[in-house]
Structures are given as C-alpha cells and as structure tokens.
Amino acid sequence: MRSSYRSRAAVGVAALLLTFGVAGCEDGDPADPIEPTGEPIPPHSSSPTEPTTTDTGPVEPTLPAEAEPETKAGAEAFVEYYWEVVNFARHTGDVELLKAVSNPTCAGCRGAIKSIVRVYGRGGRIIGGRFTVIESTPGRTPSGAWNMSTRVKLERSRTVGAGDLNQIVRAGEIDFFFGLEYESGAWRTTFLDSP
C-alpha cells in the first residue's frame, strides 16, 4: 500500500513541477489549466520568470549561508533555495543539482526530475513557470524529523518542442509539503507532495 502511495505521489508531484496542472490556478478554470501548443521553440531570451542569467546562460543557484544551520530559519532558507534549484533545472534541463539536494528515496523528487529529463530529452524547453515561495511553516515531529508546509506562486509556463508534452499552463498558487533531513551539515528533501 505504501509503495502504491509513493508511486502516486511521485507521478503527482512530477506533474505539478512540470505542468502545474492542479487546483489552485488563479487565472482561468482550474479544472482545465493546460492548453496544448504546437508552437516552435522561440529563441532564448531572459525574462523575470527565468533564473539569473549571464551572457553564457542561466547561473546555477548557490546555497545561501542562511540555509546552512539546522534551525527553523535554516530549513526555511533551504526550501527557498530548493525552489531556485527547481527553477534552474526546469529552465536549463540540468537536473544534477536537483538530484544532489534530493534524497534518492524521495519519490516526488525523482518524478519531477524524470519529467524534466523527458522534456529536454525530446529536444524541448520549459519557458517561464518560475516558483516563488509566498510563505513557509517549518515544523518538527516528536522523533526530530523536519517538515515544511510551503505555499508557492507559479508563473505562467509553456513547454515547447517536446511533442505531446507541449503545453501552456496558467499562473496560480499551490501548497506543497516537504520532508527534510539534515545530515553531515547539509539539508536534503526526503519527501515532496501536494496535499
């Protein structure tokens, strides 16, 4: 039963991180947030919905000092950093850093990584769709495990050049629940789902 839930969670979070096709969309009908598109891949351009860029392209996010300690503030800063890593992976197709900050047992993380790899593996791109943390509530279980409830704002996104994965997704807000671990002086995501 647990493996079936984890499998569903992985698929659900992968869909959320790739398409945001869930309730919580503000612009338009939340039941139909995705519009297929046959648009060609546009030339690269920098916009506020993309990670920081230089003349050579997007810049990989750097872990801020605030995210280093094992404290509530450290957990909050790590989750904000995690979303920056997701933004970078979605914009570039480079999932190595996303893998590094995700525990291999995190089914939702693996599903999201796999979805990004599928789009870029087909020669596609994800344009826009930046995640921005609106609020976070850190917590700890009696056993000492860290968790975080997070509300994020999503900007409109388009997936292009990836065949049947092409789509347009409206902007909105969505809640995520994280499980976190702090080991050897570093945070990693152990669980990621949307309630």
Domain ranges of the chain: 2-193
Architecture of domain 2-193: Roll (3.10)
Res 97 pLDDT > 70: yes
Q: pTM for the complete prediction?
A: 0.77
Res 89 pLDDT > 60: yes
Q: How sure is the predictor about 163, in pLDDT bands with cuts at 50, 70 and 90?
A: very high
Res 7 pLDDT > 90: no
Concatenated DSSP letters of 81-135: HHHHHHHHHHHH---HHHHHTB-TT-HHHHHHHHHHHHHHHTT-EEEE--EEEEE
Chain mean pLDDT for the chain: 80
